[in-house]
Amino acid sequence: MAGNWKMFKTSAETAAFFEKFLPLVAAAEHCEVLICPPYLSVATAVQAASGTRVRIGAQNLHWKNEGAFTGEVSAPMVRDSGCTHVLVGHSERRQFFGETDKSVNDKAAAALGAGLTPVICVGERLEQRQSGETEAVLTEQFQNGIGPLSPEQFGRILIAYEPVWAIGTGLVATPDQAADAHRAIRAQARARYGEAAAAGIRILYGGSVKPDNVKGLMAQPEIDGALVGGASLDPFSFASLVNF
């Protein structure tokens, strides 16, 4: 169960979140818990979560290990800060910061090279779904963004299916829509990496996951977890998602 805080929470707000959140999930051992704060709150989050089962991730990284790239942060730096995971290719990065399947693949490889688990995000936009292109879009994103990874690398990633029309809109995909998309992604994984790898890959659903819809989504065997935006900002609502 992963929370993506996007551009929310200072370090004081991060500390206050963990103080309330950690006791609420102390007994939760049925799932892994990941929180991805903004870079500048990572140190506070790592310190607050140390000695617990909660893992901390970054929301982005650069594909080079170092260099003259003003404003960027590399995979070894993310790892050094205490993160275990990093989001790659979130639709907001694709939409507002020009990320492509090629940069997604380069960033995923850099993350893996530094020992991080990349959470690679894919998903179709509203007009693509409306014109029946969902599966084609997912196929292209998989083949160009994920497919160049080696089988060994593929064994160390997570995938998040986030239909763009469901992000921050309150419009959640139905459990069946999400499961269909996950099946399409898994079919790509099977074609490229084989049956065992496809069965083993964990695919999270993201897009308006809330305490009142999480059970229906998680009841789908195809859905292995959730990547949560808005509802991860409140310690009580994210704890109730973890404890679904």
| Catalytic residue annotation | 90, 162
SS3 20: helix
Task: State the maximum Cα–Cα separation within the chain, in Å, rounded to a whole number.
Answer: 48
Q: Is 134 in the site for ligand 13P (CB under 6 A)?
A: no
- Alpha-carbon gap, residue 89 to 141, rounded angstroms: 10
* Shortest distance (Å) from residue 93 CB to ligand 13P: 10
Identity of the amino acid at 194: G
* Among positions 115, 151, 168, 194, the unique one binding ligand 13P when judged by CB under 6 A: 168
Q: Is 167 in the site for ligand 13P (CB under 6 A)?
A: yes
**Span interacting with ligand 13P, options 74-82, 95-103, 142-150, 203-211, rule CB under 6 A:** 203-211
* Shortest distance (Å) from residue 51 CB to ligand 13P: 26
Q: Is 209 in the site for ligand 13P (CB under 6 A)?
A: yes
Concatenate the DSSP letters of all residues of 99-116 into one string: --HHHHHHHHHHHHHTT-
Nearer to ligand 13P, 171 or 199 (CB): 171
Within 50-133, where are the H helices?
A: 75-80, 91-96, 101-113, 126-130
Residues that bind ligand 13P (CB under 6 A): 4, 90, 162, 167-168, 206-209, 227-231
